[in-house]
Structure 1
């Protein structure tokens, strides 16, 4: 591994954000590490080009739950490193195989410059593959993820992908939104995307009571910005 592959940002006392700065910006996603009283929560796991578990500040012996908001390559690359793997039931078959048709790993391989710096010596983009990571717990809308001092509710937020989901701490207003909503270009033309469904999801999101949104890409934002993004999408995506 060339140096430190991951970049870390401290967001709060219990929350850090990681990303892979040398990855093409389309595939450069956020990895969230939320430290709970009884367990740590990892939300999405990047491209799998570095060893994520080694980069995290984990407490030996403390349980770690790795949650994938959906099965696209930029969110599941290091999922196999964790024993407890949670994700949307609807996309469970994709996690078991990590097939290109579900993850779009092939789209990364064909980029002219998928990384600005290779993660290892003699790295070959054509050999990029994802390790199967069957879910150990399948999540449905309304389920909860309990880390002791926080309970996060699972929200089914389809449109970007059929099983896309988010996690909301309804008490604190902390919202991990995955690729359902973030600041930047929203992708709704992938083979498994559905624009009409996405509009319904944005209508739901616009009604959520949140304090801060931590998306799958880009910087975090507040509830006012969240509603602006959702309402703009609804307006501009109509046929």
Structure 2
């Protein structure tokens, strides 16, 4: 069985999902005329580069929504990597709390399909290294006949970013995904205040047609009005702080 599940959003956009692991993490390949963009690199269990190489012959630029272990697993397979400056230290010096030994344990629990034959957990190392460059709020990446804009969306991590392309596809990473699991903003390196401002920012983005999550089900069915209503509810009820617990909304949930 193939470790990755490929889901074709359109002819130039592919979701690369890892449903065999409890995280159900997902990366995205956006293909332009002169370059392709890989949003996140998954767990590092299977070779995401082999998948990408089958899908495109174009040069591939790797961009990270944020530097958490389940999104940077395949970074070492590529010769470039871009990250927001506020997450750069984690990429270079390590993620708070998470080291290679603890990540190895997470990789091996709650598996629902066989691991690739070539994967050896004893050889897995959590990536650390310098990024090629930075992702800044408002930056536009031109892939050739397709432009992708970077949006700084902190909360889940200080340097978390989302991406929106000129098809109106929004890729919000871990600041918004379907409610099978909550969006986590309950540990010290997270900020409920920043996350709520991020949801407001996303709710005010013009021309969003479809939203694709980095965990759980592929497409998130949530409107701008619903996002803004959730922000208002949390603020009015003084819930935007650590320790207020789980907050359920129609399409998503948040844990503070």
TM range (shorter): 0.7 to 0.9
Name the CA shift for 1:230/1:214 in 2 (closer, same or farther; >3 Å).
Answer: farther
The answer to whether 1:79 aligns with 2:75 is yes
Secondary structure in structure 2 of the residue aligned to 1:191: coil
* Aligned position for 2:209: 211
2:145 maps to which of 140, 149, 152:
149
1:177 aligns with 2:175: no
Change (3 A) 1:15 1:101: same
- Pair 1:29–1:172, CA change in 2 (3 A): same
Q: How far off is 1:221 after superposition?
A: 3.1
Structure 1 unmatched runs, 5+: none
Work out the CA distance in 2 between the residues paired with 1:80 and 1:133.
9
CA RMSD of aligned residues (A): 2.6
- Equivalence for 2:248: none
Question: How far off its partner does 1:81 sit?
Answer: 1.1
Are 2:47 and 1:51 aligned?
A: yes
Confirm or deny: 8 A CA contact 2:100 2:125 kept in the other structure: no
TM-score, normalised via structure 2 length: 0.80
Displacement after TM superposition at 1:153 (Å): 1.3
Give the counterpart of 1:232 among 209, 230, 233.
Answer: 230
Structure 1 51/231 Cα, relative in aligned 2: closer, same or farther at 3 Å? same
Query: Which residue of 2 is the match for residue 191 of structure 1?
Result: 188
- Which of 51-60 and 183-192 deviates more? 51-60
Inter-partner Cα distance in structure 2 for 1:140 and 1:121: 39
Residues 1:101 and 2:97 are matched in the alignment: yes
Q: Using a 3 Å threshold, how does the CA distance of structure 1 residues 51 and 133 change in structure 2: closer, same or farther?
A: farther
Aligned residues of 2:37 and 2:143 also touching (Cα < 8 A): yes
Residue 42 (structure 1) aligned with residue 38 (structure 2): yes
**Structure 2: which 5+ runs fail to align?**
242-256
Moved over 4 A (4+): 102-105, 120-128
Whether the 8 Å CA contact 1:145–1:151 is kept in 2: the answer is yes
Residue aligning to 2:244: none
2:62 alignment partner in structure 1: 66
Deviation at 1:137, TM superposition (A): 1.3
Partner-residue secondary structure (3-state), 1:53: helix
Aligned equivalents of 2:119, 2:13: Cα separation in 1:
32
Q: Which moved more, 1:149-158 or 1:104-113?
A: 104-113
Q: Determine helix, strand or coil for the equivalent of 2:81.
A: strand
1:34-87 CA-to-partner distances (Å, cap 9, x unmatched) read 111110111111100111111223433x21011110001111110121112111
Q: Shift of residue 173 of structure 1?
A: 1.5
Deviation of 1:138 after TM superposition, in Å, equals 0.9
